[in-house]
Chain A
């Protein structure tokens, strides 16, 4: 076992983990932050995407120990403490960008990284291209693309 400490959603956390423990296991099992999901075992689906020091990362392909001293944001950390939803969360609801909801946390975290990289004025082609690392089996992506386009705009307006 090895000690690890990091900041998750603004709170300092520590844990004692086996060296092989993945970040997604640490989040889900040690911290009980179950919003980050596991949809595959080959780093293909993006259900596990979180932000590691501000940049999207797949928590299924990151060891917990690699994140020593890092700052992590998960889907649970997006809404404001008072409960107001992040504009990207709001956009997914408004545009019906989710059905079963399983891919959704990863989609939203990925969407925010697309905005970080490309700004708030996104076209459909770019969004579709840059969602390459996220799989959704329910929506056919149509409404996810719309949600991201609109969420990005609303973030600028905020």
Chain B
């Protein structure tokens, strides 16, 4: 391993600009003559718009224009769409409502935009927005997914009965029912997977610039996938032909899924820029972000596990209602279906599984992928069921897991996925050693002496990353392919630019991708630049989400580098007057086998461009290659997280005492970055388990609409984490990588709740297990004794 190659903890190339305040986030970009967009948003969760009067606002100082949904419709700006088709059990397609970027006739959630003020400054725009008079006829609202389908529930979209988007299922019900009938033990759980607000620290922003001279539109926005944004805004919204629209996602301050989607605000900025013929910028307030960023999770589930007398799992069944909010966001339909039910086998050999999912509309913000997307929900169901079953059957929870682990690969689960490799016993064992599980009973006794309750919880999770191949996801309803592209440009001086369709918003691709190139071409890492996030530079790409950039994005780079090597060898053969087949390439040097002739990589690059040693008929000049890589399968990272907690019985407060994570991510390019991803994921999962929750009141007002009300995890909510690795390589891509971005968030909620329920001795606790919730549960337990 070289100091900067694969496996080295190279310090990040991107850090210098960030630690010196020179990052370029969307709001940092300015254009001459820039105006600011301020949205007028509905204060009601559900209402008819009777009229909108913009006259007073238009007359305010600094106001350039005030635009409404009626004008949007006149200009034939299309609706936002959901790009993944799901069919119900009865074969009917999902029911997608219209989603205009500005509501014209009806609002369906608080924060729905009804008009936009274009002004010389944000302050003047805000003044004018207050002068826009909207006459609403308020309608009753429904916010609880479990109540959305009830007869008499408010009807959100006139053409969609019972607020039901689809009623989908996966698996063989007959087999599952038979297994349950024969089971010795059945564990049943009712689970609410709490609604979360992603809260990337950089709020969403968009800057649109229309160039009347060329009729070109440029959009800078906070996107995880600028090419997909361009495609949707062009092909579906109809804003401009794809070649007349450039999308640039510069530095992006975190995404976690929330910046995958195409949102109304960027559409409106583009449209407004063309109308007012000046650049238009919008930057979200945090309060706006709470109301309008796509939220995550929000499942209501009943789940059951059937076991035989020895604790062998026979079957699993689950019925889930998934809240998709007021409109279907870009990939919302896939999250509670193919990203959820397909993972219900966990790390276990479960002969039959059946899952039903109803997706519903409510008068809340749209819900879509948030770190893990469906897989945290699945893991929570499986890992809670297994843990509770072990307790009920009085089998050690680690032991019950071992009895059911899949140990032979490939393994076809009953829910589509074919696991290609892994060693679940290895990660469990290593985690148990690192967490000193043996010493736990003593620590529990010691804690009890101090009046504290100690608990230990496991989560042996699996996830599916790098969702692929395109043909397979197409057959499941995806509207796009899920390959990735890479272009490797070797310059005449031997430095290299890699243009990638992946997008980094904290993951460190500028470093890890460069490590790969440095190792492969034997050139210093400083001589490699990674270019991403601009549709004018990178031809096409699918962006970054689902922990796909390593397994898919880097594989595309490998394929392009293969082609570079082949071409460079041809050049080297001409230079050294040798047969192409005799050229060897190692450590940045081309040699002729059996001779002492050699040429450095830089010399070969130069010769590829000056083309003095070969004719155009013999070889094309230049050294630039492209690859589009489509994987053969998903990858399956897996591991074991163990959480040890202590509860103060007086206050109900849970303190995390020790966190152990052992993950199998396959090949690791940069262990420092991978560990960082694990830390961040754990923090988000612990946040979900202990403190975070988005709440709407019955009228549809978001009660947790700011960082004063929505509990964001802070430094003092955590200990330092103990992170370890095991490694089995993924057979599905050339580097053997599996993906690490979401594992922490997927594994951790179940580990926390398993630990808390272990400590307090009741399963009746929901997420977030706040101090109040735990204290209340403890009081309930004591109540019968007091009576």
Contacts and interface: CB of A to CB of B under 8 A. Distances in A.
Interface stretch (B196-204, B468-476, B767-775): B196-204
B123 A20 contact: yes
Nearest to A88: B19
A32 B28 CA distance: 8
Contacts of B675: 96
Contacts of B677: 99
17 contacts: A34-B27, A37-B202, A39-B202, A40-B706, A44-B708, A45-B712, A78-B20, A89-B19, A98-B18, A99-B680, A100-B200, A101-B23, A102-B25, A102-B253, A104-B19, A140-B744, A141-B683
B20 to A, nearest CB: 6
A13 interface: no
Interface in A23-58: 28, 32-42, 44-45, 47
Contact of B22 (A35, A38, A47, A142): A35
Given A20-B123, A34-B28, A40-B706, A99 B254 contact: yes
B679 A40 contact: no
Interface string B212-256: 000000000000000000000000000000000000000111101
B708 A101 contact: no
A129 to B, nearest CB: 5
Nearest to B507: A99
A41 B285 contact: yes
Nearest to B200: A137
A41 B720 contact: no
Nearest to A92: B19
Contacts of B680: 99, 137-140
Interface string B1-26: 00000000001101111111111110
Contacts of B681: 140
Q: Interface on chain A toward B: helix, strand, loop, or mixed SS?
A: loop
Given A124-B720, A135-B707, A100 B202 contact: yes
A125 to B, nearest CB: 8
Nearest to A142: B679
Interface string B283-318: 001110000000000000000000000000000000
A35 B201 contact: no
Rank and list the top 8 A-B pairs by shortest CB-CB distance, nearest first.
A35-B21, A101-B18, A102-B253, A100-B506, A140-B683, A140-B679, A99-B506, A75-B21
A16 interface: no
Which of A44, A93, A99 has the largest count of B CB atoms less than 10 A from its CB? A99
B676 A101 contact: no
A65 interface: no
B15 A93 contact: yes
A128 to B, nearest CB: 4
Contacts of A128: 715-716, 718
Given A96-B675, A131-B715, A132-B715, 12 more contacts: A18-B123, A28-B28, A45-B201, A45-B707, A79-B20, A93-B11, A93-B15, A96-B12, A96-B673, A105-B18, A128-B715, A141-B718
A144 B715 contact: yes
Interface residues of B, number: 57
B721 A75 contact: no
A22 to B, nearest CB: 10
Interface string A76-91: 1011000001000100
Contacts of A47: 201
A112 interface: no
A45 B478 CA distance: 37
Interface of B: 11-12, 14-25, 27-28, 30, 123, 199-203, 251-254, 256, 285-287, 505-508, 672-673, 675-677, 679-684, 706-708, 712, 714-716, 718, 720-721, 744
Contacts of A136: 201, 715
Contacts of B251: 100-101
A93 B16 contact: yes
**Residue from A131, A132, A137 having most chain B Cβ neighbours under 10 A:** A137
Contact of A134 (B11, B682, B715): B715
Among A93, A94, A102, A104, max chain B CB count under 10 A is at A102
A135 B712 contact: yes
Contacts of B715: 127-129, 131-132, 134, 136, 141, 144-145
Contacts of A20: 123
B707 A44 contact: yes
Contact of B254 (A79, A102, A129): A102
Nearest to B15: A93
B508 A99 contact: yes
B707 A140 contact: no
B714 A138 contact: no
Nearest to B286: A40
Nearest to B681: A140
Contacts of B505: 100
Nearest to B23: A101
Contact of B679 (A35, A45, A94, A139): A139
A134 B716 CA distance: 11
B253 A100 contact: yes
Interface of A: 18, 20-21, 28, 32-42, 44-45, 47, 74-76, 78-79, 85, 89, 92-94, 96, 98-105, 108, 124, 127-129, 131-132, 134-146
A140 B661 CA distance: 14
A146 B721 CA distance: 12
Nearest to B253: A102
Contact of A137 (B123, B256, B673): B256
A145 B16 CA distance: 19
Nearest to B285: A41
B19 A85 contact: yes
Given A75-B20, A76-B21, A138-B680, A103 B15 contact: no
A128 B707 CA distance: 19
| Residue of B12, B21, B25, B507 contacting most chain A CB atoms (<10 Å) | B21
A108 B15 CA distance: 13
Given A35-B23, A44-B712, A140 B15 contact: no
A43 B12 CA distance: 30
Contact of B676 (A75, A89, A108, A139): A139
A129 B716 contact: yes
A140 B203 contact: no
A136 B683 CA distance: 10
Contacts of A143: 676, 679
A79 B123 CA distance: 33
Contacts of A76: 20-22
Nearest to A108: B19
Nearest to A76: B21
A137 B707 CA distance: 12
B718 A142 contact: yes
Nearest to A21: B123
Nearest to B202: A102
- Residue from A35, A127, A138, A139 having most chain B Cβ neighbours under 10 A: A138
Contacts of B676: 96, 99, 138-139, 142-143
Contacts of A101: 14-15, 17-19, 23, 251, 253, 506
B509 to A, nearest CB: 11
Contacts of A108: 19
A35 B20 contact: yes
Contacts of A100: 200-202, 251-254, 505-506
Question: Which of B16, B19, B24 is packed against the most chain A CB atoms within 10 Å?
Answer: B19
A5 B239 CA distance: 45
B682 A140 contact: yes
Contacts of A131: 714-716
The interface centre, meaning the residue of A74, A76, A104, A141 with most chain B CB atoms within 10 A of its CB, is A141
Nearest to A99: B506
B20 A140 contact: no
A74 B20 CA distance: 10
Contacts of B708: 42, 44
